Structure 1
Amino acid sequence: MNKFMRKSLELIDTLRPFPLTILRINHLLSDPFYSMNKLVDLIRYDAALTAYILKMANSPYFGTREKFSSIRQAVSYLGANEVQKMLFLHSVKPYFSGKQLSYEAEDGELWRSSIAGGMLAEIIAESFGYKDPQIAFTASLLRDIGKIVFSKIIAEHPEKRKELLLIENKSFDEREQLLFGITHPKIGASLLSRWKFSDQIIDAVMYHHDPFKSSLETTRIVALSDILGMLAGITTALDGLNYKSNNLQKEFNLSQQNIDTIMAKFITKYNSAIYEATLF
């Protein structure tokens, strides 16, 4: 293990642990025969989550005329999938806050890119009949979480940051590997492993720039969402468009019409999603 990998593990240990209740909710809802009573119990025994769900259910965004005082009523009104997404976004957003200066990402840019990737992955999954679009959404939302750690490592070595820009004929993750012996996907996978996320999500984060090293469909969906997000110009960060396309268009048998349809759905939902995400 080189010094940069050791440093990344040290930095991972300084991060606030991911909320256990959210992981339990994700695990519960991965079962198609989950119990709504169990979902309500998981939320109501957490005072902060209960207050948050009631606040959101009663907000103008969701357009209800009645005021909910019961968590059971609020969950029933919003629906389990919406509750899961809301709680997940609410819990993960603080990790993406601030500027990632080492990647020249402005305040909130990494968060917006993550939201866009999650939405695109969900749309792609639904378009191709993938059985669990929510997993694709979660995995793509988290795909670049390793950057929050790697950005700090790069900041400590400004001379290597300059080298990242000067290397030619290499994708950005290949440059990371060449100069540091690690990449932001590897760091992200290590972080999510520490946080006890599912192997499916860890795999997608690990290989989202090299999806054919994985046999999982989720990973390829996340990789495609990442590419489409960059093509849509969602991020202007240092590494934007400096990755291989990996022939994913051929893998999914995508025509230009398919891509246009996916992007049209995405654009329609994106502004609303960004507004919704600011509430979280």
Structure 2
Amino acid sequence: MKIKCLGCDKVLVIPDNRLPRDKAIAFPCPTCSKVIRIDLRTSAAGQKPTLQTQTEKVYPTGEALKAQILKTVDELPPMPQTVIKAREIMEDPKAGFQELSALFEADQAIAAKILKLANSSYYGIKGGVSSIQKASVVLGQKTLRELVTLGGVSGLIGNQLVGYGLDAGDLWMHSLAVAFGARFIAEKIDASLASDAFTSGLLHDCGKLILDSYIAERWQQFEDAMADGETSFLDAERKVLALDHPEIASDVCKAWQIPKSISRAIRHHHHPSRSQKSKLAYIVHAADAIALMSGIGIGIDGTRYQMEEGTMTILALNDEDMGAVMGHMLSAAKKIVEE
């Protein structure tokens, strides 16, 4: 029988043949001396003995665990419908601004978030803006699309993630940095990808929202999996949970109605070579690696990720470019967070 001490969480393994039947026993924990009480008596109704201490919880594994985790995706707060609809309107060349204006008039909460971001020191609109229409005129449709995505996501990824060792706001800061870094890289090599690069960077780690609690309750298994000092956190996720956070992120993107090209980039942002030559995946991968190098939102897992070989060549980046990306993402993310 496995018994966990409530005082120090030490797990004791006691052979069944050493436990007296039909008796209540008590003994001190050999580690912290807290008294552990176990009631091994069987009631008249034939019920099993009751343990008056905490026994080691048995967690589902394999396919059962994977099914449970995938079900959790449905419980994640949805992307605001206003944001989804706004993106559709802005991507439709036939749609007019009146439709967009009417949409935000019906959702003042999202509109307020967007205007707050538009008036941040990063976007730096002289004199400020008081309406979505003015923000669109001054900043342009592409930047407005960026603001809409920021406004919709800001309330979804700001919480503490215990399993990943991230304090409240850390994931938000990291996501902002990767988003601005990815856009910066895209503008250098293929400007047509800039908007999607920003969205991909912002959402690349959303799978962590789902996996965090599963990691926290299985932390000892993760430590054991990485004990060799070479196993990455991503590999440990697959070993312990049967899937990883990029895989779950692609499911979250589907639930949030994010375009497939962005979902694919996010799915392969740690291994872009598996993305069927998606330039977007390489861009997000590079931005993520640079953000982690700078220590932004590094968490427990960040120290074991490395940039995939060949990424710099594929994106035509050099060390000077990396320095520029790092400086830009740090500055931009801080200006948004500090507002």
* 2:238 counterpart residue number: 177
Query: Retained in 2: the 8 A contact 1:26–1:84?
Result: yes
> Compared with structure 1, are the counterparts of its residues 197 and 157 closer, same or farther at alpha carbon in structure 2 (3 Å cutoff)?
same
> Compared with structure 1, are the counterparts of its residues 35 and 276 closer, same or farther at alpha carbon in structure 2 (3 Å cutoff)?
same
Matches within 5 A, 1:213-252: 213-215=274-276, 216-247=278-309, 248-252=311-315
TM-score w.r.t. the length of structure 1 is 0.86
Mapped to 2, the partners of 1:67 and 1:176 lie a distance apart of: 45
- Give runs of ≥4 in structure 1 deviating > 6 Å: 58-61
SS at match of 2:77: coil
Q: CA deviation at 1:90?
A: 2.0
- Whichever residue aligns with residue 195 of structure 1, its letter is W
Percentage of matched positions with identical amino acids: 26
- Tell me, yes or no, if structure 1 residue 267 matches structure 2 residue 327: yes
- Whichever residue aligns with residue 199 of structure 2, its letter is T
Structure exhibiting the larger radius of gyration computed from Cα positions: 2
Q: CA deviation at 1:124?
A: 0.4
**Alignment length (residue pairs):** 275
Deviations 1:93-142 (A, max 9, x none): 22212211111112211111111100110010011123130110110111
* 1:3 counterpart residue number: 64
| Greater mean deviation of Cα atoms: 72-81 or 123-132 | 72-81
> Compared with structure 1, are the counterparts of its residues 56 and 137 closer, same or farther at alpha carbon in structure 2 (3 Å cutoff)?
closer
* 1:17 counterpart residue number: 78
- Tell me, yes or no, if structure 1 residue 197 matches structure 2 residue 253: no
* 1:44 counterpart residue number: 105
* 1:154 counterpart residue number: 215
Alignment gaps of 5+ in structure 1: none
Query: Retained in 2: the 8 A contact 1:117–1:222?
Result: yes
- Tell me, yes or no, if structure 1 residue 258 matches structure 2 residue 318: no
Mapped to 2, the partners of 1:227 and 1:46 lie a distance apart of: 36
Mapped to 2, the partners of 1:80 and 1:53 lie a distance apart of: 13
- Whichever residue aligns with residue 321 of structure 2, its letter is N
Say which of 140, 156, 161 aligns to 1:79: 140
Query: Retained in 2: the 8 A contact 1:97–1:108?
Result: yes
- Tell me, yes or no, if structure 1 residue 102 matches structure 2 residue 145: no
Alignment gaps of 5+ in structure 2: 1-61
Mapped to 1, the partners of 2:132 and 2:190 lie a distance apart of: 32
Give the structure with the larger strand fraction.
2
Query: Retained in 1: the 8 A contact 2:180–2:332?
Result: no
Mapped to 2, the partners of 1:258 and 1:33 lie a distance apart of: 38
Matches within 5 A, 1:47-66: 47-53=108-114, 62-65=124-127
Mapped to 1, the partners of 2:85 and 2:198 lie a distance apart of: 17
- Tell me, yes or no, if structure 1 residue 118 matches structure 2 residue 179: yes
- Tell me, yes or no, if structure 1 residue 128 matches structure 2 residue 192: no
- Whichever residue aligns with residue 245 of structure 1, its letter is M
